[in-house]
Structure 1
């Protein structure tokens, strides 16, 4: 993705289920076709947030770790609302 996302959300200090709740609430307010970049970390959010958004029909554009972060470290998730 080369364009800057329409929204950004940092949920690195949140725990499940609030990670998904906060992300879902923002996506619900977005217009179809808009994107959000979500900063998240931890095994549960990394597994649950992208999966749950995809199950709701949204497109997972990318999920990329920040440089130097391990498999459950801080990642950037970009989602396009459908």
Structure 2
């Protein structure tokens, strides 16, 4: 696999909007261009976090969680703007 994540967060079970807030705080602590890996519940948490981060200009991709069918793994590259 490519670049290793600078930080990994497991936010499964974390309600909205706390999962988005925790993801944003983690992004602020890593360098521009670094990768953040976040595990989230599918559905509203995934949608809320992904849409919010894309709206801020961060690049991200969603992958199935490797061991939890009710979760998703977001790989987020921090934007410099």
- Band the TM-score falls in, shorter-chain normalisation: 0.7 to 0.9
Other-structure match for 1:23: 23
Q: Which runs of 5+ in 2 are unaligned?
A: none
Other-structure match for 2:77: 80
Other-structure match for 2:46: 46
Quick check: 2:3–2:35 contact (8 Å CA) kept in 1? no
Deviating 4+ runs (over 3 angstroms): none
What secondary structure, in the 3-state scheme, does the structure 2 residue paired with 1:31 have? coil
**TM-score normalised by structure 2 residue count:** 0.87
The CA RMSD over aligned residues, in Å, is 1.4
Q: Which runs of 5+ in 1 are unaligned?
A: none
Other-structure match for 2:36: 36
In 2: Cα distance, 1:26 partner to 1:11 partner: 12
- How many residues are paired up? 78
**TM-score normalised by structure 1 residue count:** 0.86
What secondary structure, in the 3-state scheme, does the structure 1 residue paired with 2:39 have? strand
Other-structure match for 1:65: 64
